Amino acid sequence: MGSRIWGRNMSTTYLIPTSESVSSLLGIIFGDDLSASECDSPELNDRYVATFIDGDDKLVALCVSDKEFVAYSGAALAMIPANVAEEMISGNAVTDALVENFYEVMNICSKLMMTDSGAHLRLDKTMNPDQSADTVASLRESSQVIGFGVDIPRYGKGTLTFVVT
């Protein structure tokens, strides 16, 4: 399957994640039967956002996630039953504890964008949907964008979209 990358700047010092790299890395955390596949048109509005910065504290990448991914990944990491995560999703109220677990998952996901010999980046912070619109807009136009549907075993499916300079 060919890569679907949206954006203008096609030269980067950071890796653009692939469905294989996302499946492999997150499979270590959530189980080998985790699957990730590219989204046709990733959505960036009204999402949770993790920001990644370089050694000069410059914003260089984002990982944009829907509430489903935040709830399912956070619940799976804490071994909270899937039905609790589903109740949070349907009630549109993901707890702070699951958002903190999402931070930990995003910290691990920084590895998806780095090589051993390339530029370093690190997780800066995560933001709730009501805090993230300006940050997404500031990086989107000059970056590569690729989204994935991620099915977390025994929990459910959510989306992750990487925005990388």
**What confidence tens digit (pLDDT) does each residue in 8-30 have?**
444 458 999 999 999 999 999 99
Q: Domain 6-164: which topology?
A: Chemotaxis protein chec (3.40.1550)
Residues 117-144 have pLDDT tens digits of: 778 999 999 999 998 888 888 887 778 9
pTM of the model: 0.89
Query: Nearest to residue 152, comparing CAs of 94, 48, 68, 91?
Result: 68
Residues 30-62 have pLDDT tens digits of: 999 999 999 987 888 899 999 999 999 999 999
Amino acid at 156: G
Domain ranges of the chain: 6-164
